[in-house]
Structures are given as C-alpha cells and as structure tokens.
Structure 1
Amino acid sequence: MHDIRLLRDAPDAFDAALARRGLDASSERLVALDERRRALIRELQELQTRRNVASKEIGQIKRTGGDAAALVAEVQAIKERMPELEAEETALGRELDDALSSLPNQLDADVPDGPDETANVELRRWGTPRAFDFAPRAHYELGEMMAAGPVLKAMDFERAARLSGARFVVLAGQMARLERALAQFMLDLHTGTHGFIEVQPPLLVGTDAVYGTGQLPKFAEDLFRTTDDRWLIPTSEVPLTNLVAGEILDEAALPLRLTALTPCFRSEAGSAGRDTRGMLRQHQFSKVEMVSITTAEASRDEQDYMTACAEKVLQLLELPYRVVVLCSGDTGFAAARTHDIEVWVPAQNTYREISSVSNTRDFQARRMKARCRKAGERDTRFVHTLNGSGVAVGRALIALVENHQQADGSIRIPEALRPYLGGAEVVGA
C-alpha cells in the first residue's frame, strides 16, 4: 500500500515510479479522489460543528420563550444531509483504497530497468556445472526408474494424475525420504545457525491476511479459495508476515526472523504449456520460507543476510547456482528489490529459480498496520518486511537428483545431508 501523503507531495515522482513498472500515470486521478474525500470530511466536520452550535442556541432561545423554529429546521436539515455525505465519503475512501492497493510497490533506485527476465543482472556465481561422462537424465526420468517397493515408482506422476489431475506428484520410498531429509536439513540450518525461529502456521488463512501481503485483490486467480471464504496459502510468507499484523513491536526486539516448512498451493494461472513435465511447476509443493520483520535502516542489509542464508543451503548441498537482481519488469508486485537464486538444472542445461529474496520495505506493513516503536517514545512507524525461500524443497530435490546422479541412475548424497538419511552416501542403487 502506498502513503497518500507522499503521493500528494511528490506526484511526478510517483508517476515516474509507475513508469518504471510499465504502468500509466495515476497521480492525477488519485490526488483528485483524495481531495474530494478530504473536502467531504471537512464539510462533515463543519456541519457537525454547526449542528452543535445551533443545538445550544435552540436551548437558549427556548429557555427565554423565543421562537427557535428556523434553527430547528436547520438542525434537521443537517441531520438529513450528514448520512448522505458520510456514505459518499465512505465510498470515495473505498475507491481510493482499492486504487492504491492495486498498484505495485515502488522500486529501489538501483533496481535495473528492463522489460523482463532478459534484463536481470547477475551478481555472482558459485560452483561449476558438472561435466558428465554420460548423458544426464531429467529428474522425472530418474524418479520413474527408481522403484519404491513392488508397486509404486519413487516419482509417480501417473498415479498422482489419477488422484488429483495434472501438476501433482506422488513421492514414495527413497525419494519421499530424500525430500523429507532436505526439508529437515534446511530447517535445522536456519534455526541452528542463522537465527530463525521455527513456526508451524495455519495453511488456511482469511482474506485480510492474503490482502496484507499483497496477493489480494490483484492475484486472486493464482490462489485456491475454500467455500467458507478462506485461502490455501501460496507460501508461508502469508501467515508468517501476518503474525505481526495490527501490532506495535519494540524496535529492540527486531529483527524478528521466522522460518517455516509448509506445503504451498498455487493455481498456476496463466502457466499452461510451461514446465508440464516433472516437478518444476506444481499446484502443491513444499517450501522452507524465511521472513524477517525489521526496521527501515536495517532492511537493505537484512536482504543480503537472507540471501546468504539461502545460498548456504545450496553450497552445503554442492549445487552450482547464480544470484541475480531482478529488473523492473521482472520484480514482483509487493517487492521493492528482489534477489533471485537460480540453481543449475543439468537436464535443461540452464539455471532455474529456486529462491527469491525480496525486500518489500513498508509496503506490506501499511496494508497490515504493523508498526514499531523505540522504548520510551510515543511515535510509531511502519516496520519493513522481507521474505525469501530458504529454499523450495521440491526444486532442491530436482537439482540434487540431477546434479548428483550417477550413470546407473543412483544419486550421490552430499556430506551435509547424509546424517538425515542414516549416513547413506548413495540412494537408489
């Protein structure tokens, strides 16, 4: 959500920020709405004052036996007029809020300009993609080769489709255990080393929560909604960030770093024909999320810290990756600046996104009314919120299986993950 006061003071700067997103100027329309609403509020206040004064005058006149009919008529007219003005002011306020909430966050000044992902700027790389001495298989080929008992495949897309339709998978046997191990490894790393607090949040949330993090109203079609007006979370960013909605936090307690392992549910609206094979784009997937609530002064450094936390996951899993800063045309709705971490996927011979770490500054906090205050002070200010994948478990499974596959279809296990698999050095052999 945008601060209408800043828009009033610097409309040209606001329109310039929208232009970087490829959007038309909106300040003139928004300021006009705001001025009409404020004029109505002033008129209501003046009518209220006049009604109070007139009511006192009526009492005085009646006590002296005078005729107060004209004042009584005036007060009655005011009483009839005020509900009309209140309804109009409420409608204008709702129209202004809807317009402001449909506009994306302003980008940081150093976000590169560009229309799409082709203009993203690479910051660094880690690791070197492996040179195979055999033709590497895709993760779904390896998963379907691997048996999980006498009936199931380790990755069973056919049975998942019979259960739920396209873009689902059943993991079984060693593959199910490997995904569980990856998730546990990530949680232990973030809580034991990186200072995050583990949370088990609800998977169903109300409309206010999804609005607070910016998925609503613009991206309703990307979500799954229940018949009792709840929403399946697209990421645990939603419940984790909303844990502080409506609160005033002590600045001394910040940053508040939270992590959670949850299923995530996305309709994948608009993705028809993209990544239809395998696990890259699913309606349901697991993710270890990181969320940080901090101050304005600390949020830039916090983004770097959270990016480093996600990178450490991939380093310990011995997975080559690169970090890019997203350009203006590729940065998400709520983000002011985003780092994407892209892991190497041998079967596609390219890097694919496995984590996005975004600084939303006070954009989400305004929607959630989440503030902070220094001890001993009365004034409050909005917190800054950040979120990032730490990392997507299914995509980590894909990357691990493909990068560490062996010629016989087995998977070498990186040393950091072996304790979570009973010390196994290889699975699927």
Structure 2
Amino acid sequence: MTELRTLKVALLGCGNVGAQVARILIDDADALAARTGARLELAGIAVRTIDAPRDVELPRELFTTDADTLVKDADLVIELMGGIEPARTLILSAIENGACVVTGNKALLAQDGPTLYEAADKAGVQLSYEAAVAGAIPILRPIRDSLSGDHITRVLGIVNGTTNFILDQMDTTGAQFEDALAEAQRLGYAEADPTADVGGLDAAAKAAILASLSFHTRFDLENVHCEGITGVSAADIAAAKDAGFVIKLLAIAEKLTATDGSEGVSVRVHPTLLPREHPLAAVHGAFNAVFIEAENAGELMFYGQGAGGTPTASAVLGDLVSAARRIVLGGPAQTETAIGQVPALPIDAVNTSYYIGLDVADQPGVLAKIAQLFAEHGVSIEIMRQTIHRDADSNVESAELRIVTHRATEAALAATVQAVKGLDVINSVTSVLRVEGV
C-alpha cells in the first residue's frame, strides 16, 4: 500500500471554532486522510496565551505564541483569529510561502479581500472562506460553483444569529429589546459588547462577501448601507405581527436598474418586514438562512446553524479538505470568480416598500391629508390601519396609523416621510421600516 504524504496544518487562533477544528483534525485524522489522500498533521496552534482556559482539551505541546514561524513551515494555514491585524499579515505571509489558506474572517475579507485574492492568485494557492458567512451552511461554494452558469438577481439573507434570536424572542414572547438581548447574552449568542451584531456591522461584512460572489464584482463595507436593530421596539414587532408580518434583519444584494437607466447592484443591511408566509419568516432562534433568486434556477433557500464552534468548524474542515485535495491532485487554485465592473448603487436607487407608524390627531380629515400628501410624492398606499388611543392622564384621544406602501424608490419614500413630519395633524412618526416580499 502506498504511504500517504503528510501535509502540515497551522492553526491560528483557538477560540470556540478553533478548538473544535483542532479536535476534529486529531480525532478524525484517519477519515480525513482517506478523503484527501494525505495525512493532515496539526503542526501547531498559534495563540496569545498558551495556558488560557479552553473548552476542548488539546496537547499542550501544540500551542505556540510564534505565529510567524508556524505559518512559514505549513502547507495549509487555518486563520481563525479574527480582526484585521495580525491576521492580514499572517495570511499574506502564508500565501507568499506557498501555503493554501482557509479563513473565517469576514471583517478582513470585506475590508481588504482584493489584496488577499490577488496575492493568492499570484502565488497559485487556494484561498477559501466558506466559514465567513452563515456558519455551517454551505452557501459560498454553491454560489461560486453550482450557480456559476446562472444569473443571480437577488440574495436575501438572515446571516447574524444574534439579531435573529433577539427579534424572534420579541416576536414570540413580546419581550422588549433589552430583555431579549440580555437573554441572548445569557445563552452565549451575544457578546458582552454586542455592537457589531445589533448594529448590523457583522451582517454588513457578510453582505459584501455574498454580493461579491453573486455578482462577480468586488464590494466592500463602504458599498453596504447598514442599519441595526436597536431602534426596533416591541410596539413595532406587535404592529407588524398584527398586520401579518415578521421583522428580520436582512442582508440584501440585488441587481437593479437606476432611474437613469443604468444597471447596478444594491447591497444593504436593515430591519425588514416580511410576510409570515415568506420562507425566511420561519427562521427562528439563532439559525441563519440565505434565500437566492436566479434567472434559471428560480428560488433557492439554504438553512442551518449560523454560528457555534462545531457547526462553523464543519465549514472550515470542508474548505481544508478541498484545499488539501488540490495539493495532492494538482491543478489550478480557485480563489474568486471572474471580476466584473457592476457599480454599487446608493440606497436612494432602491425600489422598496415602507412600513410607517404615525401618531396622529384624532380629528376629521386626517386620513385625507395624509393620503393626498402620499399621492403628491408619487407613493401609493397599499394598507392603512387605524387604532384609537386615549391618554389616561389627559383624557385626550389620538390615533395610531400603520401604513404599508406599494413599491417606490427609496428617495421618493424618504421624501414622503419627511413631508409627513411637517403636517400639523401628525404628533410623531413612530417608526419607519422597509418591507420585502409583498
């Protein structure tokens, strides 16, 4: 029997995901060798602190603080450190030394992916990053490979488990945002500082990656319009529920035709109302899902665990096996798809629907004034619901209006909302959210 060659694997970072990757490399060494045609030897694990507590017990001799030397002697490098530096420098060093790289670093890819892609292409090595978006869900390779002969027109994704858990708790239990966030932190779904999640920044980085692969054009964080969920109230959730909608934080990338006739791609992240019959509306808890529309394939949805050590480790190992096979069998490296020049469109060019909450005076003619103003701005009202409230202290009645518009340009809708604020019958605009799927 021919003896298998050995490929040295360097692991950078040993957090929840890194520890599980190391465990699988050790425990499943024989199975991985059979799948790749080479033995994958875990040569070392670069960490900041060797004796830091970890959930997985691993041989102490594997740990090192000398990441620079570790990557220079490796055939395959797995980067799970996160952040921009030193991850960027270490990945470039690995590539320059001929190693294939697997990373889950969505922030780095969204900010400086082109530098890494070009370096890998020049060196003839593979750069893989399935774990950067949606955890265990195989989504990047299907977009890059399986749908490469099709034309993707739209991608809608729930790509942040923390925000999906919070919004789902608010929807199913009636919890306030602060209480749902505290529960997410207690269960380990949210960090002590949840800003990147609830502010939409984590989803924005993933949206840039999804858009780049789907539309064969490099998009970065500057191209992504980003809004988080901190402004979503329990009242918004309840009103949406009453109207047959659920609120989700969506990453959206879609091809559009601007008002001047030019084509481009809109990439955005924001809270969105979805009809409860939409497939993404049924994604609960900390799960992720990505909904794709393509010219020939039609509608596709990918669903599964979007975070966690073991699920994300599965995506990392899938990339690792693929890269190892390429080394064993030879052939060209695959880093990114062909690059086009489709421009990124600003949010104002988007055609969407709005959900608008208004607190108005309870008097004759209010509805007519509002309807006339909408018509003057070329925005059509699809749904209007009114609820009367009486203030317990002042005994003054007011009305709460919930309006869902037909699709119009973002610019027209924003101008309409601004004009509504100036009406003397409007006490306040309580919420403005976008609507998809209607």
What is the TM-score normalised by the length of structure 2?
0.24
Q: Which has the higher contact order (CA 8 A, sep 6+)?
A: 1
Between structures 1 and 2, the one with greater helix share = 1
Q: Which has the larger radius of gyration?
A: 1
Between structures 1 and 2, the one with greater strand share = 2
What is the TM-score normalised by the length of structure 1?
0.24
